[in-house]
């Protein structure tokens, strides 16, 4: 068991480092947290390397000081419009035609067939995730090894990322003296799902929306596995910018107005007029406006963002399988978000809070830490799975081979074949 697991969430508005210590019961205790403003990112992508590296170092140093240990290897969250996804199918004949028993080799060939499509040179596979298998027409099989059949089919969810965007993020982390392995880069919506979704929800059918500062990350789960992912280049920063442009204050003051006085559903405001003061760029009040005006600004933009999400669910083909919407991320804390989303999606909506950790977990028990905590849980699951594959007494590190390239477990990452 590793001594610590470290998560690094490089967001558009903040960079968060969380350090956790695994316990003997399969859980984790939070031992260190560090936050720093994100100065070199825009919509999940690096725009200034030096500023991003400086922000990473500040967050990591704060977490190390609290935990009393040094960080080396980290789990890294990835988002941004450079991410694409698609579903793919691979079909092979069972090689043992005499006994017709499906082997690990047959399973490996089916996965290889599913991911063998041409991936452009400027893109990198990020996740190859098994959905289910079909054996001679029998569907819904999670693991076909040991079954009898002639024809094996696998459905896969494949996520790719712009190679330059990925390299820029990795370069920033490594310039900050951190180690990031290939298997330790995770799409942020999948990481957040680890922290806030239950197995029952994933089986029933659920969409998770990670409503962050620069992006809104979508993940659709049904029948226990991921079905669709998408990153929209709209987030909480769009709301702040609308306040900045409309009320002519500074971006910092606009952010504070959003946090302290914001609401995106007018029905939740009292009928009587409530006046709020609008600070100017120097902090001196320059105007007074009705809180209803601020609400109108926010409501319009949140409606637009949730409308884009609704269209994406329809275009994905999985909208009818989504029974519930779970919204997490820092922007989900804006008053009125779940109520307005319920009106737009016409189904139950809840705000997703991370749970199930010990130690200093009360300091990060907020939707804005869902990605970081999900990365911790993924890191723990990743270590346990590798240790299981390696066998008793092994170090838990992966060996070489094609199965290390075509990852055959949920939330695994593939390298370039």
Which tokens is 264 given?
Answer: 């995106």
- The confidence band for 385, taking pLDDT boundaries of 50, 70 and 90, is low
94 domain residue, yes or no? yes
The order of strands in the sheet holding 123-135 is 83-93, 151-162, 123-135, 138-141
pLDDT for res 406: 39
Percent of the chain with pLDDT over 70: 90
Task: List, for residues 98-142, the tens digit of each pLDDT value.
Answer: 889 999 999 999 999 998 776 788 888 889 899 999 999 999 999
pLDDT for res 242: 96
106 domain residue, yes or no? yes
253 domain residue, yes or no? no
129 domain residue, yes or no? yes
Range of the domain at 134: 84-161
pTM of the shown model: 0.87
What's the structural domain count of the chain?
A: 1
Compute CA distances 413 → 82, 109, 150, 249, 278, whole Å. Answer: 16, 17, 29, 44, 47
Distance, in Å, from the CA atom of 237 to the CA atom of 302, rounded to the nearest integer, reads 11
Mean pLDDT of the 144-166 span: 93
Task: List, for residues 299-339, the tens digit of each pLDDT value.
Answer: 999 999 999 999 999 999 999 999 999 999 999 999 999 99
Mean pLDDT of the 211-239 span: 93
CATH of the domain at 145: 3.30.1490.110
| Contacts of 292 by beta carbon, 8 Å cutoff, 6+ apart | 266, 269, 273, 274
pLDDT for res 383: 65
The order of strands in the sheet holding 216-222 is 225-232, 216-222, 206-211, 324-328, 349-351
259 domain residue, yes or no? no
Three-state DSSP class for 233? coil
pLDDT for res 48: 95
Distance, in Å, from the CA atom of 21 to the CA atom of 23, rounded to the nearest integer, reads 6
Distance, in Å, from the CA atom of 36 to the CA atom of 13, rounded to the nearest integer, reads 9
Burial of 69 per CB tally in 10 Å (0-12, 13-18, 19+): middle
90 domain residue, yes or no? yes
| Beta bridge partners of residue 75, listed in sequence order | 7
Query: Which residue would you say has higher pLDDT here, 96 or 104?
Result: 104
pLDDT for res 397: 32
224 domain residue, yes or no? no
- The confidence band for 33, taking pLDDT boundaries of 50, 70 and 90, is very high
SS (H, E, C) 72-114: CECEEEECCCCEEEEEEEEEEECCCCCCCECCHHHHHHHHHHH
Which tokens is 352 given?
Answer: 């997703």
11 domain residue, yes or no? no
Residue 196 φ then ψ, to 5°: -125, -15
- The confidence band for 293, taking pLDDT boundaries of 50, 70 and 90, is very high
pLDDT for res 40: 87
Burial of 205 per CB tally in 10 Å (0-12, 13-18, 19+): buried
CB atoms within 10 A of CB 117: 10
- The confidence band for 400, taking pLDDT boundaries of 50, 70 and 90, is very low
Q: Is the pLDDT of residue 207 over 80?
A: yes
Distance, in Å, from the CA atom of 154 to the CA atom of 205, rounded to the nearest integer, reads 20
Q: Is the pLDDT of residue 386 over 80?
A: no
């Amino acid at each position: 068991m590793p001594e610590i697991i470290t998560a690094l969430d490089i967001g558009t508005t903040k960079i968060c480092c969380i350090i956790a210590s695994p316990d003997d019961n399969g859980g984790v205790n939070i031992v260190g947290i560090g936050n720093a403003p994100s100065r070199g990112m825009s919509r999940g992508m690096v725009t200034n390397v030096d500023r991003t590296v400086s922000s990473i170092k500040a967050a990591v140093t704060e977490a190390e000081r609290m935990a009393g240990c040094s960080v080396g290897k980290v789990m890294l969250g990835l988002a941004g419009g450079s991410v694409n996804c698609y579903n793919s199918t691979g079909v092979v004949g069972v090689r043992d035609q005499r006994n017709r028993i499906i082997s690990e080799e047959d399973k490996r060939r089916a996965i290889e067939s599913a991911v063998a499509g041409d991936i452009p040179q400027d893109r990198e596979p990020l996740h190859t995730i098994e959905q289910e298998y079909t054996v001679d027409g029998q569907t819904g099989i999670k693991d076909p090894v040991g079954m009898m059949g002639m024809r094996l089919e696998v459905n896969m969810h494949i996520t790719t990322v712009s190679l330059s965007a990925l390299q820029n993020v990795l370069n920033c982390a490594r310039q900050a003296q951190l180690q990031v392995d290939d298997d330790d880069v995770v799409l942020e919506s999948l990481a957040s799902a680890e922290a806030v979704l239950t197995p029952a929800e994933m089986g029933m059918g659920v969409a998770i929306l990670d409503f962050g500062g620069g992006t809104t990350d979508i993940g659709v789960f049904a029948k226990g596995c991921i079905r669709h992912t998408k990153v929209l280049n709209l987030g909480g920063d769009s709301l702040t910018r609308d306040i900045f442009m409309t009320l002519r204050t500074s971006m910092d003051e606009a952010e504070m107005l959003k946090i302290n006085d914001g609401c995106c559903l007018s029905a939740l405001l009292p009928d009587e007029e409530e006046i709020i003061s609008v600070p100017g760029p120097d902090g001196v009040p320059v105007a007074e406006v009705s809180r209803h005006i601020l609400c109108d600004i926010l409501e319009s933009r949140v409606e637009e963002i949730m409308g884009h999400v609704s269209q994406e669910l329809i275009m994905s083909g999985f909208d009818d399988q989504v029974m519930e919407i779970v919204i997490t991320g820092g922007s989900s804390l804006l008053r009125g978000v779940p109520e307005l989303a319920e009106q737009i999606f016409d189904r139950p909506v809840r705000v997703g809070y991370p749970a199930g950790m010990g130690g200093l977990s009360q300091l990060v028990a907020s939707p804005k830490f869902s990605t970081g905590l999900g990365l911790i849980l993924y890191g723990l699951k990743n270590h346990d799975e590798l240790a299981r594959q390696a066998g008793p007494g092994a170090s838990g590190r992966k060996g070489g081979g094609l199965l290390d390239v075509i990852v055959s477990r949920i939330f695994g990452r593939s390298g370039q074949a």
